């Protein structure tokens, strides 16, 4: 039976067949940079995806009713009637009038103090939460109901307001996924070039090994191990730095206090996906190195 | 004894040049001792390359151990190569490996357990007079020492065929005699020895050896039978 020490000695002897140091030059640093960018792009894609999902979940079942009436008394009466009608309507989970002071606060940055002077007729707003189910049909029903009360009542689903933004975020998410794919291809290409270079610069040793009866797989293993180790170190470095940057950006986003930017966050599952990227990078590098060296060896006798 | 090597009308051409070897036909019996001679550029190294499977011929048939190796699939070549030991003219030691590791290379390639490697490698190092230089890198060894390491590496796996290209080119007369003694000892154990050399006195040292002579890529004897065995030559 082969002892552990013997196996270690055999492995060390095998590993000595290629000279010490890096067989593939600066590949470690290139992979570190690639992994850094890949993780950032993936994080952006996952974060934007989470934001779109969160936004969709938040907005899907909500609508706003505007009471567009210049006369304040009539507007308040109409709002009260609309509120009563909505609370009794089928498909409405909750309806609440938006505090005019809150409304004034929200438009003050754009319209200034005149917004609350009373000279500017602001519509009254009712926030409506719908029961789960077909939002479009419910909104259409409520539109008919409110139209029967007054033409000054308008209902708009929230999703309609933010649909273009959700579309933009979704497109950016897909762009990030595309960047990840391109970075993966570029990483594979870098490893192929590095493995070819390593093969060429150790051609003499490979020839001797071949003539002594080494199989292509035996020789390819030497290269794939070394390149895999370089890729492991490079991937770990790239991932660590990218994780640090993501955490930093996360802190900055939280500090803005923006609900929209706050929605761009990475849940635990996304971190798990990001953590798989270095593992996938090492596997990709190892397989690319093996494939390249086997192909190169296949051209020799 | 049965044929271990058979060449039939073998030709070898590099690129578009004229043939380096033409119509080479011969048979080597298993357990024989053969010298290959000829002037520089006669094709000795090319013929040896065909023999140790570093090259495929442009035409003809080569049989090793009874199998046609010209049409042999690539994946089966390593198995054949492990049965052939080679002493290269330029030694081809792996520069970053110590003398010990260079000599151990064929055993490791063949998958021998690490614990079983030390004894034969140490014995071989002692035999070639490099017992105290086991950890030396080739660059720190003299030409003669490198050649001894190359020879030790070629014979350590007890190959069925040993091919040596000018093995005594860089060693002194005493070491040359010792090497020939080793080759003869291996030969007595059943290894077929093929040595390319210019050194005619060396050939005369080995009793029972036969000689092939190459002239401009052709065997000097067109029938392919081996001529000029040293003893007959001496008696003529």
* B188 in contact with chain A, both atoms CB, cutoff 8 A: no
Q: Tokens standing for B117?
A: 């490697």
Q: What is the pLDDT of residues B111-167, one digit of tens each?
A: 888 888 999 999 999 988 899 999 999 999 988 889 889 989 999 988 999 999 988
Three-class secondary structure of residue A28 per DSSP: helix
Q: Give the pLDDT band of residue A117 (cuts 50, 70, 90).
A: low
Q: What is the pLDDT of residue A133?
A: 79
Q: What is the pLDDT of residue A25?
A: 67
**Nearest Cβ partner of A214 from B104, B109, B114?**
B109
- DSSP letter string, A35-53: HHHHHHHHHHHHHHHHHHH
Q: Tell whether the model's pLDDT for residue B78 goes beyond 60.
A: yes
Specify the DSSP class assigned to residue B227. Answer: B
Alpha helices, DSSP H, located in chain A? 4-15, 27-60, 72-88, 100-111, 135-149, 158-201, 203-211, 216-256, 259-262, 268-299
What's the rounded Cα separation, in Å, for the pair A125 and B49?
A: 92
* B14 in contact with chain A, both atoms CB, cutoff 8 A: no
β-pair type (B192-196, B33-38): parallel
ipTM of the complex: 0.85
Q: What is the pLDDT of residue B33?
A: 92
CA–CA distance from A234 to each of A15, A229, A237, B211 (Å)?
Answer: 20, 9, 5, 58
**Nearest Cβ partner of B108 from A3, A13, A18?**
A13
Q: What is the pLDDT of residue B221?
A: 63
Q: What is the pLDDT of residues A45-58, one digit of tens each?
A: 888 888 777 777 76
Burial class from Cβ neighbours inside 10 Å (0-12, 13-18, 19+) for residue A294 reads middle
Q: What is the pLDDT of residue B198?
A: 79
**C-beta of residue B71 within 8 angstroms of C-beta of residue B62:** no
**Nearest Cβ partner of A212 from B95, B105, B115?**
B105
Report the chain B residue with the minimal C-alpha distance to residue A7: B114
Q: What is the pLDDT of residue B233?
A: 41
What's the rounded Cα separation, in Å, for the pair A179 and A236?
A: 20
**C-beta of residue A69 within 8 angstroms of C-beta of residue A78:** yes
Q: Give the pLDDT band of residue B181 (cuts 50, 70, 90).
A: confident
Average pLDDT over residues A17-38: 81
Q: Give the pLDDT band of residue A251 (cuts 50, 70, 90).
A: confident
Burial class from Cβ neighbours inside 10 Å (0-12, 13-18, 19+) for residue A68 reads middle
Contact yes or no for B109 and A2 at CB 8 A: no
Strand order in the sheet with B59-64: B21-29, B3-12, B59-64, B67-68
What's the rounded Cα separation, in Å, for the pair A44 and A40?
A: 6
Q: What is the pLDDT of residues A161-198, one digit of tens each?
A: 777 877 888 888 889 889 999 999 998 898 899 888 88
Buried b (16+ CB within 10 A) or exposed e, A117-154: eeeeebbbbbebebeeeebeebbebbbebbeeebebbe
Specify the DSSP class assigned to residue B21. Answer: E
| Mutation site for B-interface testing, chosen from A1, A212, A226 by largest number of B Cβ within 10 Å | A212
Contact yes or no for B113 and A20 at CB 8 A: no
Q: What is the pLDDT of residue B63?
A: 95
Of chain A, the percentage scoring pLDDT greater than 90 comes to 25
Of chain B, the percentage scoring pLDDT greater than 90 comes to 49
What's the rounded Cα separation, in Å, for the pair B191 and B22?
A: 27
- B7 has which bridge partners? B26, B62
Q: If you search the block for the tokens 């090497």, which residue do you land on?
A: B179
Q: Give the pLDDT band of residue A36 (cuts 50, 70, 90).
A: very high
Contact yes or no for B113 and A6 at CB 8 A: yes
Q: What is the pLDDT of residues B188-232, one digit of tens each?
A: 888 999 999 877 777 878 888 888 888 888 888 654 455 544 444
CA–CA distance from A242 to each of A21, A48, A285, B103, B154 (Å)?
Answer: 26, 17, 19, 47, 52
Three-class secondary structure of residue A164 per DSSP: helix
Q: What is the pLDDT of residue B64?
A: 94
Average pLDDT over residues A223-251: 91
**C-beta of residue B28 within 8 angstroms of C-beta of residue B36:** no
Write out chain B residues lying below 8 Å of A206, CB-based.
Answer: none
Write out chain B residues lying below 8 Å of A13, CB-based.
Answer: 101, 104, 108, 114
């Amino acid at each position: 039976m082969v002892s552990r020490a013997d196996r270690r000695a055999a492995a060390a002897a095998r590993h000595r067949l290629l000279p010490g140091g890096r067989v593939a030059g600066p590949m470690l640093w290139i992979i570190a940079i690639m992994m850094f960018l890949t993780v950032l792009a993936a994080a952006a894609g996952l974060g934007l995806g989470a934001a779109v999902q969160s936004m969709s979940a938040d907005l899907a079942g909500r609508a706003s009713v505007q009471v567009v009436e210049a006369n304040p008394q009539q507007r308040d009466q109409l709002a009260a009637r609309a509120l009563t009608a909505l609370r009794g309507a089928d498909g409405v989970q909750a309806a609440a009038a938006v505090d005019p002071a809150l409304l004034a606060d929200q438009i003050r940055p754009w319209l200034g103090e005149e917004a609350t002077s009373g000279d500017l007729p602001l519509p009254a707003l009712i926030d409506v939460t719908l029961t789960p189910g077909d939002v479009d049909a419910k909104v259409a029903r409520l539109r008919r109901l409110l139209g029967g009360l007054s033409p000054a009542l308008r209902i708009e689903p929230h999703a309609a307001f933010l649909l273009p933004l959700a579309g933009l975020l979704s497109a950016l998410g897909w762009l990030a996924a595309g960047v990840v794919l391109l970075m993966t291809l570029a990483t594979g290409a870098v490893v192929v070039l590095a493995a070819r270079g390593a093969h060429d610069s150790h051609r003499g040793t490979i020839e001797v090994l071949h003539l002594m009866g080494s199989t292509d797989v035996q020789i390819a293993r030497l290269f794939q191990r070394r390149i895999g180790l370089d890729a492991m170190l490079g991937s770990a470095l790239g991932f660590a730095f990218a994780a640090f940057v993501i955490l930093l950006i996360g802190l900055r986003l939280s500090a803005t206090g923006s609900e929209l930017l706050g929605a761009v966050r990475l849940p635990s599952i996304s971190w798990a996906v990001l953590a798989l990227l270095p593992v996938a990078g090492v596997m990709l590098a190892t397989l690319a190195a093996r494939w390249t060296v086997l192909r190169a060896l296949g051209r020799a006798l | 004894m049965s044929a271990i090597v058979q060449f039939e009308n073998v030709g070898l051409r590099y690129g578009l040049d004229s043939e380096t070897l033409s119509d080479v036909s011969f048979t080597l019996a298993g357990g024989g001792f053969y010298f290959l001679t000829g002037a520089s550029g006669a094709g000795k190294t090319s013929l040896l390359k065909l023999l140790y499977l570093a090259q495929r011929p442009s035409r003809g048939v080569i049989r090793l151990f009874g199998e046609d190796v010209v049409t042999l699939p690539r994946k089966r070549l390593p198995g054949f190569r492990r049965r052939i030991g080679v002493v290269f003219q330029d030694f081809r030691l792996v520069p970053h490996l110590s003398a010990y590791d260079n000599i151990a290379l064929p055993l490791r390639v063949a998958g021998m357990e690490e614990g079983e490697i030390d004894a034969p490698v140490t014995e071989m190092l002692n035999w070639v007079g490099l017992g105290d230089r086991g950890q030396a890198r080739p660059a720190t060894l003299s030409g003669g020492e490198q050649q001894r390491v190359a020879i030790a590496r070629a014979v350590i796996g007890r190959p069925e065929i040993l091919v040596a290209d000018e093995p005594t080119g860089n060693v002194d007369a005493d070491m040359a005699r010792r090497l020939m003694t080793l080759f003869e000892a291996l030969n007595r154990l059943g290894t077929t020895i093929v040595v390319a050399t210019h050194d005619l006195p060396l050939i005369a040292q080995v009793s029972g050896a036969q000689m092939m002579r190459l002239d401009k890529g052709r065997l000097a004897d067109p029938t392919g039978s081996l001529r000029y065995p040293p003893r007959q030559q001496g008696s003529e």
